[in-house]
Structure 1
Amino acid sequence: MSYLNELISLCDSFGCRYSTDESLKEHTTFRIGGKCRIAVFINSEESLASVVSYCRENSVKYAVLGNGSNVIAEDKFFDGAVIIIGNDFSAINYIKDGVIECESGLMLSRLCITARNEGYTGLEFAYGIPGTVGGALYMNAGAYGGEMSDVVISADYLDTDGEIRTISSECMDLSYRHSAFMNSGRIILRVRVRLRRGSVSEIEKKMDELITKRRDKQPLNFPSAGSTFKRPENNVFAAALIEQCGLKGFSVGDAQVSEKHSGFVINKGNATYEDLMSLVEHVREKVKADTGYELELEPEILK
């Protein structure tokens, strides 16, 4: 417990917001999770570097979250610091010649709206993805034929040695739902995207079309972590396999394979981590037995 007071003092020195015994349900879109010892809301690269350095040097368990839209948190107590990169670190630093640089806590939807307002096309696919820009790059998020690798040109990150470095998109190992940032200990600080000039009205029309498609086809009225499983090989869709196996609507407790879109597992109210993982395991086993395909969970587990 001694680390708690020291982290609080560190937060105070940087003017960072923090909350003790914070429920992770409030910071994951699935609305599942236990409490953590302290949640720290990063407000600068200096505060991030200092908090991470303190945790590493003092063997304090820590995890980094953006909007928590691709994360499933366990129900048990997280005895450590959950570092949240969100609204307090979400500035747009500059827009010049089609390049927009922003801090990693900016919501992706806000970046899309900014690009539209400035008359830049290329980000329409991302409108409606419920994550931060940093989180989107971390997993190379995508939808409707586009992904972050199409627009990102470089990023700044906090390295494991505490240094801030820049990396080009060519060195990010970007592929389907994957980047070099995953499981690396490197934390994204700023992201730069390059877009093309376009018609504001055409951009807006495309964004409206895609958000309407999302609302029509996805269970957005229930908490979820988006697509629950990655697309298997051979360009087969997980949702089609799940439906083929008769699992649409299958439930364990309040966790359910959505009746609207079987690629989504939803929280109907009070789903627990155990409910969710039991459902996931049943779906994986059934799909493997019936089709031969192995489904891989897309969200990461916060333990």
Structure 2
Amino acid sequence: MTVNFITQFPNVTILTNEPLSKYTNTKTGGSADLLAFPESAGEVQALLTFANENQVPVTVIGNASNLIVRDGGIRGLVMILTRMNSIKVVENQVIADAGASMIEVTKHAQAANLSGLEFAAGIPGSIGGAIFMNAGAYGGETSDVADSVLVLTRDGEIKTINREALDFGYRHSRVQDENDVVLSATYALVPGDGDVIQAKMDDLNAKRAAKQPLDLPSCGSVFKRPEGYFAGKLIHDAGLQGHQVGGAQVSTKHAGFIVNVDHATATDYLNLIHHVQAVVFKKFNVHLETEVRIIGESVTQD
């Protein structure tokens, strides 16, 4: 399998048995059998088609910011799309490749005096991940501004999905259900004042820095907001802030975050997540559903 992919795609960077801890924001995770870095939609399509023909499973990830890869790693082919990072502005639209940084996209919008993406100024993920989970913050969501998305289906077909058909919901989009690969997204924005836009972005980033543990590796917000509650407050009220399993700790700065304080493993993260869920359910009868995406194989029961 390894030789086939590397010889078939000599112009694509493909690594073997590569630790994914090098790429995840938690600095945890096992190895990928094959890790490819395509630089165009055509390369993604060709890699997927070849994998399908050879019955090799394919996993696609972006900036790995809201992701936990189990310590057993991922079998088959993993594609990281961060080298697909083109961003362009066309009139009142911003068109960005799946691997482009959400933060960079907000900077392009501001420079073009386009408003609507300010809420995303500090979101560390990629465009593909933001579409996948309808990323949001401070009262704004991707669904507010996403106009259309170019995707690659698992059958190898490239197609455009418009806003109405994306079925956006809270931390959900149709892309999750269909398991499509996001290639690019088009955002419909409105003209604004660049200085006002920048001021709002600066304000939100200051709030983020004051409240969130940005100085430590983490997967961002771990749990979805339960209806009628705030996950962080429930965790704090349960007395779990600062609780640690292995090298993973419930952040002392924001209880909704789990941080890597001492060479944590993905298993540490998952065991701590399960402990938090169990304690909160016992104390408040509220189930905390994970927002973070958890993929890969276990080396032990987690």
Work out whether the TM-score is over 0.5: yes
Cα contact 2:48–2:154 (8 A) shared by 1: no
Alignment partner, residue 2 of structure 2 = 4
Alignment partner, residue 225 of structure 1 = 219
Stretch deviating more after TM superposition (178-187 or 125-134): 178-187
- Which of these residues, 166, 169, 175, is aligned with residue 172 of structure 1? 166
Alignment partner, residue 240 of structure 1 = 233
Alignment partner, residue 85 of structure 1 = 81
Stretch deviating more after TM superposition (139-148 or 293-302): 293-302
- Which of these residues, 36, 55, 77, is aligned with residue 59 of structure 1? 55
- Which of these residues, 11, 17, 26, is aligned with residue 13 of structure 2? 17
Which structure's relative contact order is higher, taking Cα pairs within 8 Å and 6+ residues apart?
A: 2
Cα contact 2:89–2:108 (8 A) shared by 1: no
Q: Give the Cα separation in 2 of the matches to 1:269 and 1:55.
A: 37
Structure 1 residues 17-55: Cα deviation after superposition (integer angstroms, max 9, x where no partner):
222221101111111111112210011111101111122
- Which of these residues, 259, 270, 276, is aligned with residue 263 of structure 2? 270
Cα contact 1:10–1:51 (8 A) shared by 2: no
Letter in 1 for 2:184: R
Letter in 2 for 1:198: G
Gaps of 5+ in 2: 297-302
- Which of these residues, 135, 145, 161, is aligned with residue 129 of structure 2? 135
2:176 is paired with a residue of what secondary structure?
coil
Structure 1 residues 114-155: Cα deviation after superposition (integer angstroms, max 9, x where no partner):
000011111110011111111101100000000100000001
**Match status 1:74 vs 2:67:** no
Q: Give the Cα separation in 2 of the matches to 1:295 and 1:247.
A: 14
**Match status 1:119 vs 2:113:** yes
Alignment partner, residue 156 of structure 2 = 162
Alignment partner, residue 295 of structure 1 = 288
Q: Give the Cα separation in 2 of the matches to 1:183 and 1:194.
A: 24
Letter in 2 for 1:119: N
Cα contact 2:85–2:98 (8 A) shared by 1: yes
Q: Give the Cα separation in 1 of the matches to 2:7 and 2:125.
A: 30
Q: Give the Cα separation in 2 of the matches to 1:169 and 1:10.
A: 36
Alignment partner, residue 255 of structure 1 = 248
Cα contact 2:26–2:68 (8 A) shared by 1: yes
**Match status 1:204 vs 2:202:** no
Letter in 1 for 2:265: T
> Which TM-score applies when normalising by structure 1?
0.95
**In the TM superposition, what is the alpha-carbon distance from 1:161 to its structure 2 partner?**
2.0
**In the TM superposition, what is the alpha-carbon distance from 1:269 to its structure 2 partner?**
2.6
Letter in 2 for 1:54: F
1:63 is paired with a residue of what secondary structure?
strand
Structure 1 residues 233-280: Cα deviation after superposition (integer angstroms, max 9, x where no partner):
12x110000011111111101110000000001111311122111111
Q: Give the Cα separation in 2 of the matches to 1:67 and 1:26.
A: 11
Q: Give the Cα separation in 2 of the matches to 1:96 and 1:274.
A: 45
Aligned length: 296
2:9 is paired with a residue of what secondary structure?
helix
Cα contact 1:257–1:265 (8 A) shared by 2: yes
Cα contact 1:11–1:40 (8 A) shared by 2: no
Structure 1 residues 43-84: Cα deviation after superposition (integer angstroms, max 9, x where no partner):
111110111112222121221110001110011143321101
Alignment partner, residue 193 of structure 1 = 187
Letter in 1 for 2:19: S
**In the TM superposition, what is the alpha-carbon distance from 1:219 to its structure 2 partner?**
0.3
Q: Give the Cα separation in 1 of the matches to 2:63 and 2:233.
A: 28
Alignment partner, residue 38 of structure 1 = 34
2:214 is paired with a residue of what secondary structure?
coil
Q: Give the Cα separation in 1 of the matches to 2:214 and 2:171.
A: 21
Q: Percent identity?
A: 39
Letter in 2 for 1:49: Q
2:78 is paired with a residue of what secondary structure?
strand
**In the TM superposition, what is the alpha-carbon distance from 1:183 to its structure 2 partner?**
4.3
